[in-house]
Amino acid sequence: MAEALSAPAELDHAAPQMIEQAVAVTARRMHLPTPLSAFARLEANDPTAVSYFRYELARQVALLLLRYDRNVVALYEEQEVPDGEELAPPEASLYDALRVYVLVEQDTRALDHLLEALDRALVTAIAQRFGQPPSRYLHAVVVDRARANLLRPRAHGHRPRPALVLARESIAEMSD
């Protein structure tokens, strides 16, 4: 069962911090002088900046979910696939929803509520930070044992499996 959050108040506070952390990591990874430089690149929809930002934000989402729900095992991110072999994968926009899979021991209504509240908080935080409110920012699919096939390659191997962002066991290893 998910721990009780004072959500949405706690999430309303956490979401802007998650975004600021993702901007700061983007700046470091791109060797930019300040997070403000990364913010400018994100506003310009720079593909590299957007990619770093989205991955770090997905990692922040994973950390939050792993912290608040003991049933969460890992978080995976959907990989973009090109429309044809000769094409590059489409580049995600800053405002495209994060498409993630949440691997759980057991699906619970508490997790559904947490995901809905987190999505609302992220939408608000993105709108406040970047000025353009997406209608939805976190598209999460909860995967239990019965739906584990969603984490395998699909379409006879033409669609790769979702990429692991963070797992509970890797957090335990980092704290050892």
Query: What is the rounded CA–CA span in Å between residue 5 and residue 9?
Result: 8
Mean pLDDT computed over 119-136: 92
Mean pLDDT of the chain: 87
Instruction: Write down the pLDDT at residue 4.
Output: 47
Give residue-wise pLDDT tens across range 2-55: 444 555 678 989 999 999 999 999 999 999 999 999 999 999 999 999 999 999
pLDDT of residue 123: 96
Q: pTM to 2 decimals?
A: 0.86
CB-neighbour burial class of residue 85 (10 A; exposed 0-12, middle 13-18, buried 19+): exposed
Q: Can you give the pLDDT at residue 158?
A: 62
Q: Mean pLDDT over residues 81-110, rounded?
A: 80
